[in-house]
Amino acid sequence: MQIEDGWLENTKRVVSPNSDARPDARPDARPDARPGTGPSLIVVHCISLPAGHFGNDYVEQLFTNCLDCDEHGDFDDIRELRVSSHLFIRRNGLVVQFVPFDRRAWHAGESSFKGRSRCNDFSIGVELEGVDSGEFTDRQYETLTGVCQLLMANYSIPADHIVGHSDIAPGRKTDPGPGFNWQRLRLSVNA
């Protein structure tokens, strides 16, 4: 896997309109860095639509504002939602990319990391197909590990800057949930 122009090579691309320019360079970036040169945080989420249903295209439709909310009663609450993520890792480990890494995806909402708010400004959002009350597949962990290692190398993101949505929005978000094996991810990205 490699990154070219902010996109993972050889990965399905479904461009989301729900993104915009990153507002500033990271505060810890080199002094000669251009504004918006790169993220410094990876946020792990989970999503499935409807909750607990896997292998359909509803998440892609949500992130591209094409979801027919009349198709399922669970979609009423997200009718007006305009969100995206950089990546979506399906249960079988396949990756869909919606937003290039040099742009801001709309995944974190009201959030804070180490005293810095607005995590969308400086993070990469990675959605795992799943529910926060469930577990994730070996293929998802393998893919997530490879993606994290690549992002860490390309953007100088330290391993302790890989967090869950629940870490940056405590009390508001619970994903990726108690079934997510943080020890497994931390050991594998540092291997």
CATH code for the domain of 70: 3.40.80.10
> How high is the pLDDT of residue 33?
40
- Is position 128 within any domain? yes
Taking only the tens place, the pLDDT of each residue in 7-36 is: 999 999 999 999 999 986 545 544 444 444
- pLDDT at 78 > cutoff 80: yes
- Is position 95 within any domain? yes
What's the average model confidence in pLDDT over 165-169? 98
> How high is the pLDDT of residue 24?
64
- Is position 28 within any domain? no
145/44 Cα distance (integer angstroms): 11
Instruction: Name the domain count of the chain.
Output: 1
Block residue for tokens 């094409």: 66
Choice among 127, 129, 135, 142 that is catalytic: 127
- Is position 71 within any domain? yes
- Is position 101 within any domain? yes
Residue ranges making up the domain that contains 155: 3-23+35-189
H or E element: which one contains 105?
Answer: strand 103-105
- Is position 132 within any domain? yes
- Is position 30 within any domain? no
**pLDDT exceeding 70 applies to what percent of the chain?**
93
- Is position 183 within any domain? yes
Q: What is the pTM of this model?
A: 0.93
- Provide the CA 101 distance to its chain's centre, in angstroms: 10
More confident residue, 26 or 177: 177
Task: Please list the alpha-helical segments (H only) found in 50-190.
Answer: 58-63, 138-155, 165-168, 182-189
Q: Is 127 helix (H, G, I), strand (E, B) or coil?
A: strand
Nearest Cα residue to 151 out of 24, 29, 39, 36: 39
Taking only the tens place, the pLDDT of each residue in 94-142 is: 999 999 999 999 999 999 999 999 999 999 999 999 999 999 999 999 9
- Asked if 127 is an active-site residue, the reply is yes
CA distances from 78 to 46, 86, 99 (A): 16, 19, 20
Radius of gyration (C-alpha) of the chain in whole angstroms? 16
**Between vectors from CA 119 to CA 46 and to CA 51, what angle results, nearest 5°?**
20
